[in-house]
């Protein structure tokens, strides 16, 4: 399962990166990271605290490595199991960069119709690929 997810992630990033890897035109700053996480988590941006951002790279499989990756540590409200309250928890998000999306994070989800890829992008907002 993990291998399949990593391979899918590599394919998505590879398809979105035209040609050779290009360096980001802007650094990922806490305010922008919080805005994108707010889209993904469906919580108000003012309720999200960015604790830190780490530079790095990710090897998705033996053939592909994403070089412009940032791991963002956030503290945000999470609804409790019964839905009557919330508590603040630390969550980590990996952000990738390419020219067409800017900084983005993504997730693969299983829906009734099959697998769906959600992308939350600095430049294009929310993208849903069914």
In a domain, 53, yes or no: yes
Could you tell me if residue 119 is inside a domain?
Answer: no
Q: How many domains does the chain have?
A: 1
Q: Does the residue 64 lie in any domain?
A: yes
Q: What is the pLDDT of residues 113-123, one digit of tens each?
A: 999 999 999 99
Cβ atoms of 95 and 33 within 8 Å: the answer is yes
Residue 95 lies in domain: 2-99
How many alpha carbons lie under 13 Å from residue 84 in its C-beta half-sphere? 1
Q: Would 109 be classed as within a structural domain?
A: no
Residues 76 and 41 sit within 8 Å (Cβ to Cβ): yes
Whether 44 is in a domain gets the answer yes
Q: Over the chain, what is the mean pLDDT?
A: 86
Alpha helix stretches (DSSP H) within the chain: 2-16, 30-41
Q: Would 47 be classed as within a structural domain? A: yes
pLDDT in tens, 10-31: 555 545 544 455 788 789 999 9
Residue with tokens 């590599």: 10
Lowest mean pLDDT of 9-13, 48-52, 81-85, 112-116, name the range.
9-13
Query: By CB neighbour count within 10 A (0-12 exposed, 13-18 middle, 19+ buried), where does 42 fall?
Result: exposed
């Amino acid at each position: 399962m993990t291998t399949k997810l990593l391979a899918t992630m590599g394919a998505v990033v590879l398809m979105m990166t035209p040609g050779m890897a290009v360096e980001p035109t802007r650094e990922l700053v806490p305010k922008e990271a919080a805005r994108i996480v707010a889209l993904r988590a469906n919580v108000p941006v003012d309720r999200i605290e960015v604790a830190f951002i780490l530079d790095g790279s990710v090897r998705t499989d033996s053939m592909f490595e994403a070089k412009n990756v940032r791991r963002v540590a956030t503290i945000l409200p999470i609804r409790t199991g019964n839905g009557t309250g919330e508590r603040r928890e630390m969550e980590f998000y990996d952000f990738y960069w390419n020219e067409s999306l800017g900084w983005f994070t993504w997730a693969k989800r299983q829906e009734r119709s099959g697998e769906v890829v959600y992308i939350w992008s600095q430049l294009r907002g929310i993208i849903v690929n069914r």
